[in-house]
Amino acid sequence: MSHHWLDAGDAAVVAELIRDEQTESIHHGVVAVVDREGTLLLERGNAEAIVYPRSTLKPVQAIALLETGLELSPLELTLSTASHCGSRRHRDAVAHFLEAHGFSESALGCPEDWPLGPAERAELAAEGGTPSRLAMNCSGKHAGFLAACSHSGWRTEDYLSLGHPLQQAIVDTITRYADEPPALSSTDGCGAPLHALSLRGLARAIARVSTAETEHEQRLVSAVRANAWAIDGEGRDNTVTIETLGGIAKIGAEGLVVIGTPDGVAVAVKILDGSMRATSLVALGALESVGAISARDAASLSARVAHPVMGGDHIIGGLKVRI
C-alpha cells in the first residue's frame, strides 16, 4: 500500500493573525472532522496525508493498556493519557502511580526534562530543582506502560522497543481504532514508538474513543472528565476544553490537536509548520462549523485558549479561524 506523506501542497489556510484589521501572519494546515462511524464531515487540505500524531495518540495507547486487563484508578488512567505541565501536583501523582505498581522514577524510560509549563518550569528552577523524569510531560504514559508490563508478566528493561509485547499490543489497538495500519513507525520525543497515520485515521480513532461504547472507552472518558487537570494543567487548553465539552482533548507536539465530543464527533488538526498557536482555535471552529458544539461553547473556549495580539497594553487583534 502506498502512502502520501504530508507536504505543503496538502495544506489549506486555516487561520490568520490579524493586527489592526490587517493580516500579519497566515497558518496553513489540514483539518479532518468525522462522526462516530468515521464518515468525513469536514476536510480542509488533504486529510488522507500521513502525519506523525505525536501525543494525540495517547488516548488510544491508554485503551491498549486497559485491554491487557490492567486495573488503573481514574487518576492513573488519566495520567497515562496526559501530556502534563509538570506541576508539583503532577510530579507527586506520577510518583505515587509508580509506587503503587512497584516502581520508582528510575524505571521510567523517558528522558529527564524540565516541566512543560513555563510557570511550572520557573517555579521548579526557583526552588533549586533540576530536570527529572517525573517532570517530563510523558511520565504518566510511561508509568502506565510499566504497570501494564508488570501486570502482564512482560519484561520492563526494554519496554520501549517496538518488538516488545506491549508495543505490539499498542500497534494492534491503533490499527483497529484508526481503521488503518500505521504507515511507518519512528521514535517520539519521550523515547516511545511513534506510529504515523492519516489525519482522517487519527480523527476516526479519537471518535471511537470519545463515543465511549465499550467498557474500556467508558472508563477512559469518565476518568479524564473527573481528572481534567491531570491531562494538561489548570487553565491549559486541553483541561479547559474537557471541563467545558466533557469529551477528549489532546495536544501533540508540532502543531497537533484532537478533540472528541461525547456524541462521537472528532476533529484532528495539524498545523503545517508545527506551531501550536492556532491548533485549539481551529479545532473548535471546525467542530462548531459542523454543529458538533454550540456557538456559545466555541466562543467561550476560544476566548480562554486564544493568544491576543497586543499593541502595548492594548489588545489590537488576534487569530481568525478560516474554516
DSSP letter for 112, please.
P
Asked if the model's pLDDT at residue 1 lies above 70, the reply is no
Asked if the model's pLDDT at residue 307 lies above 80, the reply is yes
User: What's the rounded mean pLDDT across residues 98-121?
Assistant: 98
The confidence score (pLDDT) of residue 258 equals: 98
CA R_g for the chain: 19
User: What's the rounded mean pLDDT across residues 306-315?
Assistant: 95
pLDDT grade, residue 2 (50/70/90)?
low
Q: Are 36 and 263 in contact (CB under 8 A)?
A: yes
Three cell numbers written together for 260: 472528541
The confidence score (pLDDT) of residue 322 equals: 97
What are the E-state strand segments in 153-255? 185-187, 193-195, 197-198, 248-252
pLDDT digits (tens, 9 = 90+) for 130-189: 999 999 999 999 999 999 999 999 999 999 999 999 999 999 999 999 999 999 999 999
Q: Is the pTM of the predicted complex or chain greater than 0.75?
A: yes
The confidence score (pLDDT) of residue 3 equals: 82
State the fold for domain 8-321.
Answer: Beta-lactamase (3.40.710)
pLDDT digits (tens, 9 = 90+) for 262-287: 999 999 999 999 999 999 999 999 99
Three cell numbers written together for 9: 501542497
Three cell numbers written together for 233: 494543567
Mean pLDDT over each residue of the chain, to the nearest integer: 97
By percentage, how much of the chain surpasses pLDDT 90? 99
pLDDT digits (tens, 9 = 90+) for 53-108: 999 999 999 999 999 999 999 999 999 999 999 999 999 999 999 999 999 999 99
